[in-house]
Structure 1
Amino acid sequence: MIIGNGQLAQAFKELDKRDDVIIFASGVANSNCTDKSEFEKEKDLLIKTLINNKKKKFVYFSSCALSAKEYQLNDYYIHKQNMEKIIKEHSASYYIFRIPQLFADIKRHSTLINYLFYAIKEEKEIKIYKDAFRYVIALDDVHTIVIQLIEHHKGGTTLDIANSYRYSIAEIVEIIEQLTNKKANSTLINKKDAYTLDLIDLYNTISQYNIDGIKFGKSYLYDKLLSKLSL
């Protein structure tokens, strides 16, 4: 069963008719959200789904920011933290996957990568934080790792899924400039926004379950975006 209809939910549509797995991909997606009613709506749906599916594998997508002890959490991240706690209290077979900046097809989604891509392509003005860094992950790689774990791991796990290289926003802009052959109309702002992840558990998981075809590293974002633009 799949709860949700966004790009994460659509990525796992082959599991929709499975009666032993719940993919919970519904709720607040905007990390700048401060609307308590939206948080409560997701919380109510989450609790209802957990109560009605106690014996099923339960998959939830959270944020890598929760793994960084030094990162100051806003309302959205505190909400995600609370959702994780509820899941752990109500499910014996949960899979919490913490993800960073997610990207899939190059369409007009409200994600960072897609926003920057179209802003640069259409020569719109953008503001870049001088000391801002982001981890990224492609949706197809999230799918590969998640499927392997729900098929072969008994559950009760929380895992960060992210490319190992942490990009500055300026680097992301440079990559998109190369791919679009356009120069960004950008203004640099003196502001810091960054955290660091320890991804040893992810590497151990990839090795343990023989997950092939994922090539993390500095060239990951360029290579993935290039492949999507070539489709």
Structure 2
Amino acid sequence: MIIGNGLIANSLQHIDSEDYIFFASGVSNSLETRDSEFEREFNLLKDTLKNNSDKKLIYFSTLSVKDQSKQNSHYVLHKLAVEDYIKNNSNNYLILRIGNIVGKGGNPNTLFNYLKSQITNNNTFVVHTHARRLLIDMDDITRFLKINCILPENGIINCAFPYYYDLKEIIGAIEKKTSQKGIYSEIDEGDFYKVDFGENINSFFSGISPEDYLETLTKKYI
């Protein structure tokens, strides 16, 4: 059973199963501040758990909960509250904390979509030179779940390609694919958060170089 209709939900269609609840409905804008938007997701989750106690819950959270600069944001506080609720009210769950998703369509404000749009439309933008980001192909999330959602133990998995991309690495790959130069200024700011990746993620991406992974993303989604 899939709950939701966005990028994640649509990408999970071919692994849908009556044995699992893929809860992919939620607040897509990490800058959202309206309580009503977060309450809507929370209430839907509670009802879903109540009515499907015999199924394993797969919930999609965010690696942003590790970002110290966002600890007081509505979005992160909401995700942490939902995670706690699941841990206290479900006997069979898997929480995936997702990095910056790259896929077909989806939120235009995701990092990859934003940079692609700025470059292809010749818009001026600002780059924080110390910023690093973790990327994940939506297709890889689906493939990873196909293998790992049957894991018997309850838990949380940090899910992203285990490499911290410099923003200029991502920009360079997009520039190469589009044959367009980005118009941007640089600011000596930015940070990133360290994430511990488990053996399941490291094994899943074993043998793939950061350069090859980024090139694959640009070939698929530009």
Whether these two folds match at TM > 0.5 is: yes
1:57 and 1:155 in contact (8 A); partners too: no
Name the CA distance, whole Å, in 2 between partners of 1:144 and 1:223.
Answer: 16
Name the CA distance, whole Å, in 2 between partners of 1:216 and 1:29.
Answer: 29
1:2 and 1:15 in contact (8 A); partners too: no
Pairwise CA distance, 1:173: 1.2
- Structure 2: gaps spanning 5 or more residues: none
Q: 1:5 to 1:54 in 2, by over 3 A?
A: same
Aligned counterpart in structure 1 of residue 189 of structure 2, from 188, 191, 203: 191
Matches within 5 A, 1:25-174: 25-67=24-66, 70=68, 72-73=70-71, 74-105=73-104, 109-151=108-150, 153-174=151-172
Pairwise CA distance, 1:148: 1.0
1:8 and 1:139 in contact (8 A); partners too: yes
The aligned counterpart of 1:2 is 2
1:133 and 1:193 in contact (8 A); partners too: yes
Q: C-alpha root-mean-square deviation of aligned residues, in Å?
A: 2.2
Pairwise CA distance, 1:72: 4.1
Q: Report the number of matched residues.
A: 221
Aligned counterpart in structure 2 of residue 225 of structure 1, from 209, 215, 218: 218
1:58 and 1:95 in contact (8 A); partners too: yes
Structure 2 SS opposite 1:192: coil
- Structure 1: gaps spanning 5 or more residues: none
Structure 2 SS opposite 1:30: coil
Name the CA distance, whole Å, in 2 between partners of 1:33 and 1:144.
Answer: 29
Deviates more, 1:77-86 or 1:109-118: 109-118
Pairwise CA distance, 1:49: 0.7
TM-score, reference length from structure 2: 0.90
1:135 and 1:162 in contact (8 A); partners too: yes
Q: 1:106 to 1:86 in 2, by over 3 A?
A: closer
Give me the identity figure in percent. Answer: 33
